[in-house]
Amino acid sequence: MRCLLMGETIFLGIGGHWASGNSLSLMYRGVAEELVRRGWQVVVLIPGLSSEQVVAEGNLRILTWPSRRPTRLKDAIYLARLIKQYRPACLIANFASVNWMMLVGWLFGVKKRIAWYHTVIDAAEERNWVTELKIIRKRLIYKLATHIIAVSDFVKSRDLVTEYRVLPEKITVFHNMVGDPLSAGILPCPKEKILTYTGRLEYWKGVDILIKAMPEIVSQYPDVSLRILGDGSKRIEYQNLSRNLGVDNHILFLGSVSPNQVLQELSQSYLHLHPARADNCPLSVIEAISLGIPVIASNVGGIPEIIRDGQEGFLVSPGSHELLAEKIVQVLEDSFLRNELSRRARERFLGSFELSKGVMKIVDWLENER
């Protein structure tokens, strides 16, 4: 094992998604564990842990931020103390931890400062002065990063280069990835009349478009049902919309469910739907193809980097419930087409989005970019 000296420590600052057991948390766990396996000391900072959850095992330290969201001054002070103690060679930050990790890391001369960009600017319904101020602040923060990881080529060029004015050579793309559910014993058993959506119930996710497509689908397939997994500010509005359109008996709002239940529900899905108005590299789409479920999604953002039109599913213009319904009906009426899309979806997952292979690529890059 590598002799660990000061400066051979990597800080992984999590602003969210570690203990939840979802696909993103498993990716970060995989990166941390592989770094430890290769001889690095890894300090993981997670918000909201109890004292019983703080862990020191071998070369892995799991600590907790002082705040539930690491955005306060006391979080910066805590981070500064840890940097003095461990003198890390690298900081990796995501979500709410990015601002302090980049700023404090820069002030203390940490050589490698990596921000992991998971979001998308136009996820908001509209741009306003608050949004513009946040963009300006982020431009300053990203100037302090030595590297930025984007999860799609789309946000690399559109968000990071164009909006945040990051130099292209600072950006590396690693698409999101998920573990193979088949290796965990979750096997696909699709039921012909079940459609699924997983994700937040917010305007930019486009669930209202999907609900508006349902009357046409139900008119041709009266036994079809749509299972919506997830919650958000638009839930009541969307439930009312389904009643007003007369399709509420065909739509089941399941609310927030555990990551394992998501996979169990997906395993029964005949077709997965992602009608987003904007999105980056949605994990829900990758989870669907991991089970060989064809996907019909909007042709926006990073989605075409996962789903290729006519191969693993179909891409439709965002906002068009007519086109969405047309493609759903096309797959429902042709079982041979559905099976071919399913086979290609599973192959696509194994070749490009499977977790264990992706973790190795990320850790190889981290070591080579020292």
Which pLDDT score, from 0 to 100, does residue 17 have? 53
- Greater confidence (344 vs 128) lies with 344
Which pLDDT score, from 0 to 100, does residue 130 have? 84
Q: Residue 175 above 90 pLDDT?
A: yes
Per-residue pLDDT tens over the stretch 27-53: 999 999 999 999 999 999 988 877 767
259-262, Cβ contacts within 8 angstroms, sequence gap of 24 or more: 259/20, 259/21, 259/22, 259/23, 260/21, 261/229, 262/198, 262/229, 262/287
> Residues 84, 86, 92, CA angle at the centre, nearest 5°?
100
Answer yes or no: are the C-beta atoms of 292 and 312 closer than 8 Å. no
Task: Tokens for 144, please give them.
Answer: 């302090």
Which pLDDT score, from 0 to 100, does residue 11 have? 81
The rounded distance, in Å, linking the Cα atoms of 302 and 49 is 33
CATH topology agreement for domains 9-177+355-368 and 181-352: yes
- Greater confidence (275 vs 24) lies with 275
Percent pLDDT > 90 in the chain is: 81
- Kindly indicate the confidence band of residue 3, based on its pLDDT and cuts at 50, 70 and 90: very low
Per-residue pLDDT tens over the stretch 133-165: 989 999 999 999 999 999 999 999 999 999 999
What mean pLDDT value characterizes the chain? 92
Q: What are the sequence ranges of the domains in the chain?
A: 9-177+355-368, 181-352
The rounded distance, in Å, linking the Cα atoms of 249 and 112 is 54
Closest CA to 288 of 21, 29, 23, 18: 23
- The domain 181-352 is classified under which CATH number: 3.40.50.2000, 3.40.50.720, 3.40.50.2300, 2.40.30.20? 3.40.50.2000
The rounded distance, in Å, linking the Cα atoms of 359 and 28 is 9
Answer yes or no: are the C-beta atoms of 67 and 90 closer than 8 Å. no
Task: Tokens for 293, please give them.
Answer: 């479920």
Three-class DSSP labels, the chain:
CCCCCCCCEEEEECCCCCCCCCHHHHHHHHHHHHHHHCCCEEEEEECCCCHHHCEEECCEEEEECCCCCCCCHHHHHHHHHHHHHHCCCEEEEEHHHHHHHHHHHHHCCCCEEEEEECCCHHHCCCCCHHHHHHHHHHHHHHHCCCEEEECCHHHHHHHHHHHCCCCHHHEEECCCCECCHHHHCCCCCCCCCEEEEECCCCHHHCHHHHHHHHHHHHHHCCCCEEEEEECCCCHHHHHHHHHHCCCHHHEEEEECCCHHHHHHHHCCCCEEEECCCCCCCCHHHHHHHHCCCCEEEECCCCHHHCCCECCCEEEECCCCHHHHHHHHHHHHCCHHHHHHHHHHHHHHHHHHCEHHHHHHHHHHHHHHCC
Which pLDDT score, from 0 to 100, does residue 50 have? 77
Answer yes or no: are the C-beta atoms of 124 and 85 closer than 8 Å. no
- Kindly indicate the confidence band of residue 18, based on its pLDDT and cuts at 50, 70 and 90: low
Least confident of 121-125, 219-223, 309-313: 121-125
Please tell me the number of Cα atoms within 13 Å of 185 on its side-chain side: 1
Closest CA to 33 of 50, 52, 17, 10: 10
Which pLDDT score, from 0 to 100, does residue 1 have? 32
Stretch 219-224: mean pLDDT: 97
- Kindly indicate the confidence band of residue 339, based on its pLDDT and cuts at 50, 70 and 90: very high
Fold of 9-177+355-368: Rossmann fold (3.40.50)
The residue type of 220 is Q
Q: Residue 344 above 80 pLDDT?
A: yes
- Kindly indicate the confidence band of residue 304, based on its pLDDT and cuts at 50, 70 and 90: very high
Closest CA to 345 of 310, 293, 305: 293
Per-residue pLDDT tens over the stretch 96-118: 999 999 999 999 999 999 999 99
Percent pLDDT > 70 in the chain is: 94
